[in-house]
Amino acid sequence: MNRKIGVKILGTGSYFPKKILTNADLEKMVDTSDEWISTRTGISERRISEKNEPTSELAYKASIDALMSANIKAECIDLILVATTTPDMLCPSTACFLQMRLGPTFIPAFDLSAACSGFIYGIAVAKAFIESGLYKTILLVGAEELSKFTDWTDRNTCVLFGDGAGAMVLSASQENNDILSVFLGANGIYSNLLFLPAGGSVHPATVHTVNEKMHTIKMHGREVFKIAVPKMVLAATKALELSGKRLDDIKLFIPHQANMRIIEAVAKKMGISMDKVFVNIYKTGNISAATTITALDEAIKTNRVNKNDIVELIAFGGGFTWGAAVIKVT
């Protein structure tokens, strides 16, 4: 009798660009203050990529880190998945650029677009591919350069975002199953609350779209906030149910780092004490699909979690999309 194929997390990695943009720097750029940004969002600083440092470059460095932690060579990978909302180009995919840098020629590579929930969607896709037997070892990356799609004159959005990348190597296993559950959701009715209007087929690039700054992120922050909290609670609760675990079994909750007040509201509604919630938003800002994986990687590297601890990743983003995954630390 064939045993069900399990998924083992072999390793994680991350990379942040060197340049730091502080709230004090932003005070010189728009009408804002460190006090406003800190109290309303929890963010003190964020990383910003260089002009000649595309998303695939951050993805590459995070992937090298993950491959080292997994102790395997790039040639062992048989699928590359990149979750991103800020790709190098619309075509080809950032995953193809990453493949070119890493070297495992001919293996399939594609991008996955689910905004800030992208990495959780990626876990679901990787899990399904491995369990089906189609691929054995998958490199899953969340990589973003939101700074390149930000209107740096709009104080409503420019204080929120940053750049970074995280990666995970997942592999088929007969003995282990590290992905205990994944729950995903979406509702396109909210597409007008958080969006990047131009550059696609609705508004192809024109002088008008450039002059109107339509190639940068637009957001109705207050409305996003109101919907983010219940959807993150829903996703976290459903994924927990599916995993068969209880709230107390979770060593660490790793929510999407969009706003400290959202994180606190989710924790309060779920009855989780904040010492069980991972927070690094103060130094990263919102890095969309890269948040949960870079946070997980940091939690592992700083021994905040150890082998076999159960962790829940929770995300919410443009679309709207949401999702959560209960995983076992490798």
Ligand X SMILES: CC(C)(COP(=O)(O)OP(=O)(O)OC[C@H]1O[C@@H](n2cnc3c(N)ncnc32)[C@H](O)[C@@H]1OP(=O)(O)O)[C@@H](O)C(=O)NCCC(=O)NCCS
Active site residues: 116, 256, 286
β-pairing, 163-173 with 6-15?
antiparallel
221 binds ligand X (CB under 6 A): yes
Residue 36 touches ligand X, criterion: CB under 6 A: yes
CA distances from 7 to 32, 122, 142, 186, 235 (A): 46, 13, 19, 25, 21
Would you say 61 or 256 has its CB closer to ligand X? 256
Number of residues this chain uses to bind ligand X (CB under 6 A): 22
Q: What is the 3-state secondary structure (H, E, C) of 306-321?
A: CCCCEEEEEEEECCCE
In whole angstroms, the minimum distance from the beta carbon of 37 to ligand X comes to 6
- Cβ neighbours, 10 Å, residue 206: 11
In the bound complex, what is the minimum distance in angstroms from residue 152's beta carbon to ligand X?
12
By CB under 6 A, residue 84 contacts ligand X = no
**159 interacts with ligand X by CB under 6 A:** yes
User: Is residue 32 near ligand X by the rule CB under 6 A?
Assistant: yes
| Binding test (CB under 6 A) with ligand X, winner from 98, 123, 224, 300 | 224
Binding of ligand X by 150 (CB under 6 A): no
Among 54, 87, 162, 317, binds ligand X (CB under 6 A): 317
Distance CA 46, CA 59 (A): 17
Look up residue 2 and give its DSSP letter. P
Q: Which of 263, 229, 257, 235 is nearest to 326 (CA)?
A: 235
Could you say whether residue 301 binds ligand X (CB under 6 A)? no
User: Using CA atoms, how far apart are residues 95 and 62, in angstroms rounded to an integer?
Assistant: 13
DSSP-derived secondary structure for 54-113: -HHHHHHHHHHHHHHHHT--GGG--EEEEE-SS-S-SSS-HHHHHHHHH--TTS-EEEE-
| Residues contacting 192, CB < 8 A, separation 6+ | 220
Q: Which of 18, 28, 51, 222 binds ligand X (CB under 6 A)?
A: 222
Contact region for ligand X (CB under 6 A) — 33-41, 184-192, 202-210, 245-253?
33-41
Q: Which stretch binds ligand X (CB under 6 A): 35-43, 58-66, 67-75, 240-248?
A: 35-43
Angle at 278 between CA 15 and CA 251, to 5 degrees: 115
Q: How far is the CB of 286 from ligand X (least distance, A)?
A: 6
Would you count residue 316 as binding ligand X (CB under 6 A)? yes
For the segment 99-118, give every residue that binds ligand X (CB under 6 A).
116
Residue 156 touches ligand X, criterion: CB under 6 A: yes
Q: Which of residues 251-280 bind ligand X (CB under 6 A)?
A: 258-259, 262
94 vs 286 by CB, closer to ligand X: 286
284 binding ligand X? (CB under 6 A): no
Min dist CB 77 to ligand X, Å, is 29
List the one residue out of 12, 27, 43 whose CA is nearest residue 287. 43
- Site for ligand X contains 7 (CB under 6 A): no
Question: What is the DSSP code string of 216-262?
Answer: S-EE-HHHHHHHHHHHHHHHHHHHHHHHT--GGG-SEEEE--S-HHH
User: 3-class SS at 20?
Assistant: strand
Tell me which residue of 91, 99, 95, 92 sits closest to 111, measured CA to CA.
Answer: 95
User: Which residues in 191-220 contact ligand X (CB under 6 A)?
Assistant: 194, 219
Report how many helices (DSSP H) and strands (DSSP E) the chain contains, helices first: 11, 13
Q: Which is nearer to ligand X, 41 or 55 (CB)?
A: 41
CB of 163 to ligand X, least distance (A): 15
The residues that touch ligand X, with contacts defined as CB under 6 A, are 32, 36-37, 40-41, 116, 155-156, 159, 194, 219, 221-222, 224-225, 228, 258-259, 262, 286, 316-317
